[in-house]
Amino acid sequence: MSASLSSSVSPAPSASAPGAAPTQADLLDFVRRTAADAELIASLPLDPEGRTWIRLDGPGGSEAWLIGWPPGSGTGWHDHAESVGAFLTAAGELKENSLATRLPTDGWQTLELSEGVDRERRLPTGKGRAFGRDHVHEVLNESTEHHAVSVHAYFPPLPRIRRYSRSGQVLRLEQVERPEDWQ
């Protein structure tokens, strides 16, 4: 992420029982309700050069973000380690490329992926998805003209993000980031 705002915003409370860990469904419900807050979505400053974000108060101690995506931006291949998550496009359209396979979590540097593991999802305004632990994906705003805005939530709060490079069917672990690297 290239820019940050220091404020934290509290959207509507979650449907989860107090003290219960939020499920993937709870996180998806949270991002859906948050994305429907037109005033919050409009409050995110958009930068033509890099992604912008505001940290949100997620349900049940989850980590949540409102993210602005300039035209042509993306995350690169990554996972969210032990966290489950959900995200939803609040404005514009995002594309998610993902792997329909579980990777070993540790102890490897390079893997050759099997044929047929690639998945592609288009997520126009109002569409989102939840995902489980160790979900490997990349998220892109392929528009050449329009920003996209999305809402993301993760539980437990992200302990690390593993970043990968990909050449054909070869996936290589490049970097492991910790929270202090992006907050």
Reading the block at residue 110, the tokens are 């390079």
Whole domain around residue 71: which residue ranges? 5-177
182 inside domain: no
Q: Is residue 46 part of a domain?
A: yes
Percentages of the chain per state (helix, strand, coil), in multiples of 5 = 15, 45, 45
Is 183 part of a structural domain of the chain? Answer: no
Question: How many domains would you assign to the chain?
Answer: 1
* Tokens representing residue 86 in the block: 């959900």
CATH code for the domain in which residue 26 is found: 2.60.120.10
Is 44 part of a structural domain of the chain? yes
pLDDT at 89: 98
In order along its 183 residues, the chain shows pLDDT tens digits of: 444 343 455 554 445 556 689 999 999 999 999 999 999 999 999 999 999 999 999 999 999 999 999 999 999 999 998 999 999 999 999 999 999 988 876 788 999 999 999 999 999 999 999 999 989 999 999 999 999 999 999 999 999 999 999 999 999 999 999 988 866
88 within domain boundaries? yes
